[in-house]
Homo-oligomer: A and B are copies of this chain.
């Protein structure tokens, strides 16, 4: 069940990244040598250039481009773009990385093309990221890392990393961390996996993760548990995606029964978001299915007296999803579920199951649900 050699994969991606940067640089040099104004074409990142592909199941960038040509007005941002790409290339060479914030500070030594605000450096990084994405390379492969780490992981999984100093393989047994867990690093591109688990359970809240971990739910149910802690970070999403693809594992999502859990947390994990369409191809998890808590679970597990009324924001979020979210619209089951929730007028947290005892979730709820994954919402 080993992934193809992670070192070979890593080395190939590094070559691809350097080739892309070199190609952009070479084109610019060629233009200059021919006496032409150099230019770089970036994909447009706005909603106007986003397509929802029903077959792929996620939002992706369309083919519209904006061209940044070197002129008096663009000289500074043009130079900044090139310096940032050169920084990326150097980091690939040195096996290093920089956070968005660090990139901003690095520029303090760039003389006249230093950034005055991080918003400037972030915008240029987003352009470069969008350009790389159409070549199948993520921002992490450019070695620009997010500030936030990924969620916690426990269960029947070995993560294969390597010692950056010696190159030696390091194998992390996520079943051997006691009441603690494996913290997903900011970039996961270099990781390999080995597992005999049957599925990944992606959990909204930290308290529920700790409960399932302390009771070693992953052992009795032969799975891997991941704490999302609300809307999952880039690192968490990419980790689940790579793990699911590499090991051919289904992903079940266990979140609160409210419009936020459904239309924000689950939907972001599964199909990504419209305003970051250039990254969805790396970050969405098309195989994710919704285990619960579903509106029907409130009835089936008699949670009515442990619910809370939907507030205005909940109702608006549900109605927006029903009327304008292509993912929800594409799946009538979701339309029905959201309408049922609106009709009941309440929401239920995953902890509400504690009403029947702290470990009811482990002894009753999850086994009943897992007996029939085909019934999970899409």
Q: What residues of chain A have their CB less than 8 Å away from a CB belonging to chain B?
A: 91, 96-99, 101-102, 105-106, 108-109, 145, 147-149, 152, 159, 161-165, 170, 172, 176-187, 190, 205-207, 210-211, 213-216, 219, 227, 305-306, 349, 351-359
A207 and B355: CB pair below 8 A? no
Given A147-B206, A170-B176, is A98 in contact with B354 using a C-beta cutoff of 8 Å?
Answer: yes
Given A96-B358, A206-B149, A207-B102, is A184 in contact with B180 using a C-beta cutoff of 8 Å?
Answer: yes
List, in ascending order, chain B residues with CB within 8 A of A352's CB.
Answer: 105
Closest CB-CB distance, A348 to chain B, in whole Å? 10
Report the nearest B residue to A215, measured CB to CB.
B164
B214 and A164: CB pair below 8 A? yes
Task: For the A-B complex with A106-B355, A149-B227, A163-B216 known, give 14 more contacts whose Cβ atoms are closer than 8 Å.
Answer: A101-B351, A105-B349, A108-B306, A108-B355, A145-B207, A149-B181, A161-B179, A172-B176, A179-B185, A180-B185, A182-B182, A183-B183, A185-B210, A186-B210
The residue that A305 contacts in the complex, of B106, B108, B354, with Cβ under 8 A, is: B108
List, in ascending order, chain B residues with CB within 8 A of A190's CB.
Answer: 179
**What does DSSP make chain A's interface, helix, strand, loop or mixed?**
mixed
A210 and B145: CB pair below 8 A? yes
List, in ascending order, chain B residues with CB within 8 A of A97's CB.
Answer: 210-211, 214
A306 and B105: CB pair below 8 A? yes
Given A179-B190, A216-B165, A305-B108, is A102 in contact with B210 using a C-beta cutoff of 8 Å?
Answer: no
User: Could you tell me the distance between the alpha carbons of A184 and B214 in the complex, rounded to whole angstroms?
Assistant: 13
Q: Which of A170, A214, A352: most chain B CB closer than 10 A? A: A214
Q: List 7 A-B contacts (CB under 8 A).
A: A97-B214, A102-B358, A105-B306, A147-B206, A159-B180, A165-B219, A180-B182
B170 and A98: CB pair below 8 A? no
Report the nearest B residue to A219, measured CB to CB.
B165
User: Could you tell me the distance between the alpha carbons of A205 and B105 in the complex, rounded to whole angstroms?
Assistant: 15
The residue that A178 contacts in the complex, of B108, B163, B214, with Cβ under 8 A, is: B163
Given A172-B176, A306-B105, A351-B105, is A183 in contact with B186 using a C-beta cutoff of 8 Å?
Answer: no
List, in ascending order, chain B residues with CB within 8 A of A96's CB.
Answer: 214, 358-359
List, in ascending order, chain B residues with CB within 8 A of A179's CB.
Answer: 161, 164, 185, 187, 190
